Structure 1
Amino acid sequence: MSTSRIRLTHDAYRVGWISALPLEMAAAIAMLDASHAPLPQPKADRNTYHLGEIGSHNVVIACLPSGIYGLTSAAVVAQQMLSTFPSIDIGLMVGIGGGVPSATVDVRLGDVVVSKPTGLFSGVIQYDYGKTMADGSFHRTGSLNNPPESLLTAISDLQAKHLVGDNNIARHLENAAKARPSMRASLTYPGTSDDVLFEPSYVHETDQPSCASCDKSKVITRAPRNSTMPSIHYGVIASANQVMKDALTRDRFATDLGILCFEMEAAGLMNHFPCLVIRGVCDYSDSHKNKQWQDYAAAAAAAYARELLQSSIRTTATPARTNDVVKIRSKIPVSKSAFFVRREAWWNSILNKYP
């Protein structure tokens, strides 16, 4: 990525990219082709933006306030972004989430889950929103908007390209690592030996910082993959103001609702900032959580978002740069048969005065 002092107008930005964590924002910035100079913003807008470009798209990146996560915080950031950059019509929520492995969907660490309407759900479901009935059962209420149709069309296009082998996600990660050597570790696949899935009923020892002492007999054996390239999964993402850290609860929700991933922000966006949610899998939504995969999972999600923008979302014309020289030409229509007659008396007086 190159650093640039290009300064555009607020109306020139069409893509709004929201991250929840600084490591997610860092991954987003690493995927830019160039950065743009900052623009002034209203006093009421408390966001901090990073502006740049991916291909022919101008992108606004914002991160949630440090330590303040969840549905409400995401909604406020999105609302302020739309107010300051009114031309945004492509919304992306990109970051990390907890995956849901199952017999039907082989979700692994470093994979990417993309929100897609499935069955009765819009692609994102707020699984903790509803009411408890007299018999103790929980009924979910309300619904969330679908991602914009243009984004659903784009993911169909990209999915087809990936199916025929046109997949550049690994190249995006490698190019970003070359451009930003200090981030190479974050952009590099950690290794299959560190991707361990335990039986749902086996709970991590709370006083142990890692799974080094966990019972290896409780590990679920899975067939090795032929490639370390992230697999892309499309389906329902579950969102709530809480972290999912229990495998039995994870599997119960997944069975009932078809969930592929759990996260904490998307449900706050869908009805006010219609967007596509893209999550890199950094853990298995169980008690064996650790932060080892977070950086790479964020990078994989950002690489998918870049791929989507670059290859499958059409470009629209953008306003001129504010520091460009604008040439104005005055064009006066003149008939081809027109002719000009000089002022003879005036011309003769000039010739007589200056023979």
Structure 2
Amino acid sequence: MPCPPRETFQIGWICALPIEAAAAKEMLDENFGLLDAQDLSDSNIYTLGRIGKHHVVIACLPGGQCGITSATTVATNMIRTFSKSLRIGLMVGVGGGIPSAAHDIRLGDVVISCPKNTCGGVVQYDMGKVEVGGEFHRTGSLNSPPRGLLTAINLMRAAELTDDPHYPKYLLKAIGRNARTRKNFVRPQQDRLFKLEHYHYGTASTCDGCLAEWEETRSERETSDPQPHYGIIASGNAVIKDGFTREQLRLDTGALCFEMEAAGLMMDFPCIAIRGVCDYADTHKNKQWQGYAALVAASYAKELLGYVPISSVLQENLMVDICDM
């Protein structure tokens, strides 16, 4: 099929890591390849494709440049090149899970940013001011996701009460496509959550040397399918790699997940953040679950788009107009 005109692409999908971009491309029903012509000041590289009835443009952050500022630059360039069509955004990738008694978050689950109380769904945990006595106070607020995406999420959540979701099937199909996808996206066997006081043993890249008695006791799940969690995602420029810090930020923000890009998008790039849980943001953090978690997030995003009517997308303002405002 020939590539549709640039003005056809209304949904922007941003990733931070190459593994996340690869997972996104696995979700395309049609891949139209790379965009040949774009704004001369735009340094992004775009993959164009179709998911169901939607035409989607995928962009990845430059290598080694994760974080809020890089995400803002990629989004700004995308809006400039697709100024006549872009209306809705997705920030899809991996994040550090924040398990608690109220939220049984495990590796391979997916966290979706949704408004709660006065928070629009994403909180920038490192934006604020230090007041008298050295106490840090968060300031400012970030926009909520587009109304059409929030409505689609509620439809999807309602469907899950009576029917099996489709994203686990998308996940398994992508994993089994060939030897490379099996190698890079297969689900790891071990999911170990360690007690806060037990730090990672030595400098090893795996937790093989970490003792079993250090682990939290958790009940066995009925299924190995990834479970969705809806609520606040904490975003900031710092990598969280300490269990006590994770717990303190959970108490402060109520967040279910940490990541490093969404806060750079929410004001001018109306989007929802979808994060596959690849670690627990502690000293035991490693990359073993990264591929599977990235594919989980992409699979969820694909199903979510199936609940978004074209008419709902057209009701959203063009992103370029939001920037002008």
TM-score by length of 2: 0.93
Q: Percent identity?
A: 50
SS in structure 2 at match of 1:172: helix
Higher-Rg structure is 1
- Residue matched to 2:123: 125
2:235 counterpart of 1:242: no
AA partner of residue 301 (structure 2): A
Kindly indicate whether the alpha-carbon contact (under 8 Å) linking 1:186 and 1:299 is maintained by their aligned counterparts in 2. Answer: no
2:79 counterpart letter in structure 1: L
Alpha-carbon deviations, 1:48-84, whole Å to 9, x = none? 0010111111110000000111001000100110111
Contact 1:174–1:187 (Cα < 8 Å) also in 2: no
Match of 1:77 among 74, 77, 80: 74
Partner of 2:308: 313
- The equivalent residue for 1:224 is 220
Determine the structure 1 residue equivalent to 2:319. none
User: Which of residues 65, 85, 88 is equivalent to 2:62?
Assistant: 65
Deviations along 1:104-127, one digit per CA (max 9) or x if unpaired, are 100000000000011121100000
> Are the aligned partners of 2:97 and 2:257 in contact in 1 as well (CA < 8 Å)?
yes
CA distance in 2, matches of 1:269, 1:317: 21
Q: 1:177 to 1:214 in 2, by over 3 A?
A: closer
Residues 146 and 270 of structure 1 are in contact (CA less than 8 Å); yes or no, is this contact kept in structure 2?
yes
Asked if structure 2 preserves the Cα contact closer than 8 Å seen for 1:254 and 1:260, the reply is yes
Select 1:17's aligned residue among 10, 13, 20: 13
Match of 1:28 in 2: 24
In the aligned structure 2, how far is the partner of 1:33 from the partner of 1:58?
Answer: 10
Asked whether the equivalents of residues 108 and 277 of structure 2 are also in contact (C-alpha less than 8 Å), the reply is yes
**Aligned residue number for residue 175 of structure 2:** 177
SS in 2 for 1:259: coil
Distance 1:181 1:211 in 2: 26
- Is the contact between residue 173 and residue 299 of structure 1 (CA under 8 Å) also seen in structure 2? yes
Aligned-partner Cα distance in 1 for 2:223–2:163: 13
Distance in structure 1 (CA, Å) of the matches to 2:106 and 2:124? 23
Contact 1:7-1:39 at 8 Å conserved across structures: no
**CA spacing shift, 1:248–1:84, aligned 2, 3 Å:** same
| Deviation at residue 137 of structure 1 after TM alignment | 1.2
Quote the offset at 1:9 in angstroms.
1.1
Superposition CA RMSD, Å: 1.5
Deviations 1:161-198 (A, max 9, x none): 1121230111111222344442023343222xx10000
Partner of 1:293: 289
SS at match of 1:135: helix
- Which amino acid is the alignment partner of residue 224 of structure 2? T
Structure 2: stretches of 5+ with no match in the other structure: 314-325
TM-score, with length taken from structure 1: 0.85
Query: What is the distance in 2 between the residues matched to 1:180 and 1:266?
Result: 32
Alignment of 1:1-355 (within 5 A): 4=1, 6-37=2-33, 38-86=35-83, 87-191=85-189, 194-310=190-306, 312-316=307-311
The alpha-carbon deviation at position 224 of structure 1 amounts to 0.6
Distance 1:317 1:255, change over 3 A: closer
**Contact 1:24–1:299 (8 Å) recurs in 2:** yes
Point out the more displaced range, 133-142 or 57-66: 133-142
Q: Larger deviation: 173-182 or 59-68? A: 173-182
- CA offsets 1:141-175 (integer angstroms, 9 cap, x no match): 11101111111111111111112123011111122
Q: Bigger shift: 27-36 or 168-177?
A: 168-177
Letter in 2 for 1:230: P
Contact 2:148 2:312 in 1 (8 A): no
Unaligned runs of 5+ in 1: 319-355
Give the counterpart letter for 1:70 in structure 2: G
How many residues align structurally?
311
Task: Tell me the residue number matched to 1:321.
Answer: none
